[in-house]
Structure 1
Amino acid sequence: MEMTTEQEYHVKQVAATMALSDMPLTREAHQNLVDVATGAKTSEEVIAEIKAKYGEADGDAM
């Protein structure tokens, strides 16, 4: 899906903020932002994919 000018602006703002915080986005993270911005995926879907890929934390680390 193509992004609107406003969606593109917001994704670039997030990417810039992360880079300024010394946490540049990976290609996958950038694509997830684009997917959520365009409505291709919900944030819940992205979270579920990340949990499936890396395993859900058991919560005992804190």
Structure 2
Amino acid sequence: MKKILIAAVAVGTAASLVMLYLQKRRQGGNLLDDAKDAVDRSTRRMRKYMRQTKDKTDHIYSNAMG
């Protein structure tokens, strides 16, 4: 009976450690996904800003020359 209890505790501990490992692994993946999304957003903003700046400078240049 004592050996069965020890085995049950060992199995339960192993299962809980596996669950904790999987949760931490998933959180790491979520952090990487969040970082990727942040980089994508900043890239889009920078491209938008550069497009707007190019349009403004083209407009200023054409007004100055024309």
Query: Is TM (by shorter chain) over 0.5?
Result: no
More helix by share: 2
Q: Under a length normalisation based on structure 2, what TM-score does the superposition of the two structures give? A: 0.29
Q: Under a length normalisation based on structure 1, what TM-score does the superposition of the two structures give? A: 0.31
Of the two, which has the highest radius of gyration?
Answer: 2
Which structure has more RCO (C-alpha within 8 Å, separation ≥ 6)?
1
